[in-house]
Structure 1
């Protein structure tokens, strides 16, 4: 049998797929179309064309699997109903098997905090408040070995949220500057996507049922540091300029804007201690200054 992976063509899921296939693991991925199926099959995995809203298909694939890793998300107003439906279908397939189910959460549910751990209270912005009841349901599940991974801001290979900074508006005039998200004083807790993928695999293999891990590398740069790196790469001599919260909302929308204004720091130490996770990828500052986002 194989591991059933959702979101295999997405930013996180494709990295998890690469990590699994690098170990020679058998993977079945549910994808939306033939183009995505071809990309999945090029890795040596098996692709099934369909949708995650097809409860019978998802339940069947879960039932036939060695366990499930769920990374897919529409990333819009349908996310809550989507995740709830996927969990319902997967649990129907895995119920009573004690097989592993790894669920994707997110760091923003903790709100602003200078020391986020797995024991920190939740204080989510409106954008991700929907995650909390679904995650409680996942952790309470019986007959399934559940784990939640809460990724920090994921970066690498030119993908993900850091493009908001790399492609931020530039001012005009004699000395243009890159626009920050707010004052730039807030910290982002970060993780390289390939390191995060390794954490998913470790959690699938080793984590106890009902466990929860923050996927953070321990690198917590300020948005100003990130902006200055991107501004250096853009030939602006590192010049940046802060903007108001109202301007952030106008640029990015209130939901995403408020999430990116959170001031968050985390180490991800529990995953190192419990699972032997060793994140060793580049830092986001390096990637913005001279790596995959520079140019």
Structure 2
């Protein structure tokens, strides 16, 4: 019998969409799993999933100071799954302070943590449409040329490598995620539901627009694969996390039309993307992007297993509707973000 001591991981934002999936994946893999959360009311749901909750936040200076001086909780791996897109730099600086404090406490007992820091593939910007000339996927070597709102994230996420005095680091860039409570694929179901009442699915994007998503549980397994890989291979690296192939908007739209029984089918008006204000959901639908994840697959042996979005759209729809019915916190967060993003685009009156 092995007397190897189980490894421990802390996931920040463990009640969030990615963070909760990541924490549950580490539990399944046999890790002692802790989840950092800001609100007392979220702790019970973590306990139900065998995740030990820690109440605190990167923005709580007193908590950060205490973290550097305690040795009760030390971690082999720390996963950062929080961000504030509209105030990225301030939150980033708070997060780095917390990561350094936690790493300092672990260093005191001889543990050098691996920090897995979450960014996103939209930092690269768009690629061409399906079938376009010279179409190629974004790789980890691609320039970071995303939308204006993402420029602070693109600039600051790689700075995590500057803290090698206390911890090793990996930056991960997942694609847009789907499944369970839906994330940014959730509002797509809302668009389809309204289209079913109207009789036509109106989309302000090209049908050949590339939608390269990944199931959130597959994404979470990638974090575990990185944590369990040879440290000398993964430290200092950036990894894209993307599904085995991309889908086109036409594939997704056809699946939605069939599942929602939209009699008039889908109609596309991509010219509207260029001529006026487009709501954020339509913008995301038309954000054509192919993302390669060959580096991740080669280095750590990760493979995605879940069905593509268009292949199991009914299953994912029902999961989202159940989350809406339960007033799921992650659904509320996405709806709030969409409202905020749309308000930013509205012209002054």
Regarding TM over 0.5, the answer is: yes
Correspondence for 1:292: 316
1:192 aligns with 2:219: no
Q: CA RMSD in A?
A: 2.5
Q: What is the CA distance between 1:180 and its match in structure 2?
A: 2.0
Q: Which moved more, 1:215-224 or 1:102-111?
A: 215-224
Q: What is the CA distance between 1:250 and its match in structure 2?
A: 3.9
Greater per-residue helix proportion: 2
1:239 aligns with 2:265: yes
Q: 1:16 to 1:238 in 2, by over 3 A?
A: farther
What is the distance in 2 between the residues matched to 1:85 and 1:153? 25
1:4 aligns with 2:4: no
Q: Which runs of 4+ in 1 moved over 6 A?
A: none
Q: 1:225 to 1:67 in 2, by over 3 A?
A: same
Matches within 5 A, 1:195-214: 195-206=218-229, 207=231, 208-214=234-240
1:101 aligns with 2:115: yes
1:283 aligns with 2:292: no
Q: What is the CA distance between 1:179 and its match in structure 2?
A: 2.3
Q: 1:55 to 1:189 in 2, by over 3 A?
A: farther
Gap runs ≥5 in structure 1:
none
**Match of residue 263, structure 1, among 285, 288, 298:** 288
Matches within 5 A, 1:143-162: 143=165, 144-162=167-185
In our comparison, the structure showing a higher alpha carbon Rg is 2
**Match of residue 54, structure 2, among 48, 56, 66:** 48
SS at match of 1:170: helix
SS at match of 1:112: coil
Q: 1:20 to 1:59 in 2, by over 3 A?
A: farther
Matches within 5 A, 1:97-176: 98-113=112-127, 114-143=136-165, 144-168=167-191, 169-170=194-195, 176=199
Q: What is the CA distance between 1:32 and its match in structure 2?
A: 2.1
What is the distance in 1 between the residues matched to 2:66 and 2:173? 27
Work out whether residues 3 and 28 of structure 1, in 8 Å CA contact, stay in contact via their aligned partners in 2: yes
SS at match of 1:53: coil
1:218 aligns with 2:244: yes
Q: What is the CA distance between 1:246 and its match in structure 2?
A: 6.0
Structure-2-length-normalised TM-score: 0.75
Q: What is the CA distance between 1:33 and its match in structure 2?
A: 1.9
Gap runs ≥5 in structure 2:
1-6, 128-135, 322-349
